[in-house]
Amino acid sequence: MCMDFDPVSVAEIADMLGVERQKVASLKYHGKLPQPKKILKCGPLWDAKEIYIFINNGGIQDNRRKH
């Protein structure tokens, strides 16, 4: 069985989105990221394709009020 899985971590997702790692961790905590494919002792891993699709379909929305 061949699994097509290109793992990316919080750090790579932060680079992809142009945000800090803390923002990605917050998105995960609040359920605003796709579910990780794997969770290891070092942290969660997502499939790069799913993250690219997520980003291209609107990615993160910042609904906070702007002053």
Q: What is the C-alpha to C-alpha distance for residues 60 and 54, in angstroms, rounded to an integer?
A: 8
Measure CA of the first residue to CA of the last residue in the chain; give whole Å. 53
Q: What is the C-alpha to C-alpha distance for residues 13 and 20, in angstroms, rounded to an integer?
A: 9
- Residue 3: what pLDDT? 66
- Residue 47: what pLDDT? 97
- Residue 58: what pLDDT? 80
Q: How far is CA 27 from the centre of its chain?
A: 8
**Tens digit of pLDDT at every position of the chain (67 positions):** 456 889 999 999 999 999 999 999 999 999 999 999 999 999 999 999 999 999 998 866 655 555 5
- Residue 2: what pLDDT? 53
